[in-house]
Amino acid sequence: MTIIVLTNCPVGLRGFLTRWLLEISPGVFIGNPSARIREALWDEVRQYTGQGRALLAYTTNTEQGFTFDTHDHAWHPIDHEGLTLIRRPKAPGPSNTKAPQPGWSKAAKRHRFGRR
């Protein structure tokens, strides 16, 4: 089983992939081509993605039962003790948070000075 997921790729590339795979959702292709055809398709995908990105997942004889590869993707597969995992980039911190104001809060002032 082979799955290719395209994001923001040219329409011509999607048409090219429909020759061998079934498009079950926009940009999601699934099928069962041979390993030679799968590698040829992946080479074409990497060459013609343009500004887009792509993900390839296919079945193999491993403990997980599958493996995957990415192209121009922020998430990258890594090998961790025989298992393939996804490394995601660190999310940037929120930019709209304000620094706390100096001094005591109103609740702390009421508690400290006995006003309730």
CATH label of the domain that carries residue 72: 3.30.70.240
Q: How far apart are CA 86 and CA 55, in angstroms?
A: 12
Is the pTM higher than 0.85? The answer reads no
Establish if 14 belongs to a structural domain.
Answer: yes
Lowest mean pLDDT among 21-30, 66-75, 100-109: 100-109
In angstroms, the Cα distances linking 32 to 4, 11, 104 are 11, 22, 66
DSSP 6: E
Q: Which residues make Cβ contacts (< 8 Å) with residue 80, sequence separation at least 6?
A: none
Establish if 52 belongs to a structural domain.
Answer: yes
Query: Which structural domain range is residue 19 located in?
Result: 2-87
Work out the pLDDT band at 16, boundaries 50, 70, 90: very high
Establish if 54 belongs to a structural domain.
Answer: yes
